[in-house]
């Protein structure tokens, strides 16, 4: 199955992340703490925590920092309590945006998110206003040049729902959230290392933006990404390279 290119968006995001290691560490720590608090500190019994630790290792968060924050979340050390809040809204050209946050002060967070939307040409929506335009799923993305046949064979055998080849040759594997870890293990066992491996909100359809509209949309997304309490930003805009 062919699909629209996501590679440019991934490379843009990676480039920004390389410049912001401190922010990535903060996000990783929050995700570890929320996952450990919700499901306990035992990695073998907590899939969400396993994924959070994998993400933390991918951004080179030190092992002692990972352990310390698991201990904080499970009551062995004093720590901060974070709550998860999702915001929804519209960007340039009616593009849908979902913002997932973890915060210790919801009043501050909603004010910052609303300000970003207002200042950069978007509109904050109500709960459920755009979420129906996205699918909660596991997602793996492989760089152009990866063997499509091998990825498809391994992924589908392991229970993946779909394998999509983007316009530029990148390969996307989609799974149900509950099958993410099984498919991940199978891909890695076959020597296939994805550039992206995450449980995400994937847009069902995209809105093409170009020129000034695309630049404005990218600016809004960047500002939202940079907010301290923001963990993830999902959108359905197709932006040029």
Task: Say which DSSP state 177 is in.
Answer: G
Give the residues across from 139 on adjacent strands: 174, 198
Full domain range(s) for residue 39: 13-73
Does residue 51 belong to any structural domain of this protein? yes
| Residue 13 banded pLDDT, cuts 50, 70, 90 | low
Q: Count of domains in the chain?
A: 1
Sheet holding 2-3, edge to edge: 2-3, 162-166, 171-175, 134-142, 196-203
CATH number at residue 25: 1.10.10.200
Q: CA-to-CA distance for 57 and 150, rounded, in angstroms?
A: 27
* More confident: 21 or 109: 109
Does residue 174 belong to any structural domain of this protein? no
Does residue 18 belong to any structural domain of this protein? yes
Does residue 67 belong to any structural domain of this protein? yes
115-131 pLDDT, tens digit each: 999 999 999 999 999 99
70-116 pLDDT, tens digit each: 988 887 667 678 889 999 999 999 999 999 999 999 999 999 999 99
pLDDT value for 3: 46
Report the b/e string of 34-43 with b at 16+ CB within 10 A: bbbbebebee
Does residue 57 belong to any structural domain of this protein? yes
48-75 pLDDT, tens digit each: 999 999 999 999 999 999 999 998 888 7
Does residue 157 belong to any structural domain of this protein? no
169-178 pLDDT, tens digit each: 899 999 999 9
Q: CA-to-CA distance for 160 and 140, rounded, in angstroms?
A: 10
| Residue 5 banded pLDDT, cuts 50, 70, 90 | low
Does residue 4 belong to any structural domain of this protein? no
User: What's phi and psi for 121, nearest 5 deg?
Assistant: 85, 15
136-157 pLDDT, tens digit each: 999 999 999 999 999 999 999 9
Nearest residue to 101 via CA among 225, 199, 236: 225
Q: CA-to-CA distance for 81 and 69, rounded, in angstroms?
A: 11
23-42 pLDDT, tens digit each: 889 999 999 999 999 999 99
Summary mean pLDDT of the chain? 90
Does residue 29 belong to any structural domain of this protein? yes
């Amino acid at each position: 199955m062919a699909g629209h290119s996501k590679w440019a968006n991934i490379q843009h995001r990676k480039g920004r992340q390389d410049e912001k290691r401190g922010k990535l560490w903060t996000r990783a720590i929050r995700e570890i703490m929320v996952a450990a608090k919700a499901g306990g500190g035992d990695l073998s019994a907590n899939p969400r925590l396993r994924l959070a630790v994998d993400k933390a290792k991918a951004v080179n968060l030190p092992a002692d920092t990972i352990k310390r924050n698991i201990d904080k979340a499970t009551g062995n050390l004093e720590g901060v309590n974070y709550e998860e809040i999702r915001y929804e809204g519209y960007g340039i050209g009616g593009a849908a945006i979902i913002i997932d946050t973890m915060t210790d002060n919801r009043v501050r967070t909603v004010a910052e998110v609303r300000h970003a939307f207002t200042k950069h040409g978007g509109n904050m929506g109500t709960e459920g206003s755009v979420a129906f335009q996205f699918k909660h799923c596991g997602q793996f993305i492989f760089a152009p040049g990866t063997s499509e046949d091998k990825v498809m064979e391994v992924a589908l055998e392991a229970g993946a729902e779909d394998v999509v080849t983007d316009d530029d040759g990148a390969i996307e594997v989609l799974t149900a959230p509950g099958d993410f870890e099984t498919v991940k293990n199978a891909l890695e066992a076959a020597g296939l290392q994805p550039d992206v491996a995450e449980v995400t909100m994937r847009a069902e359809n995209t809105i093409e933006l170009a020129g000034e509209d695309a630049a404005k949309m990218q600016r809004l997304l960047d500002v939202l990404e940079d907010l301290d309490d923001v963990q993830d930003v999902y959108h359905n805009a197709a932006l040029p390279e």
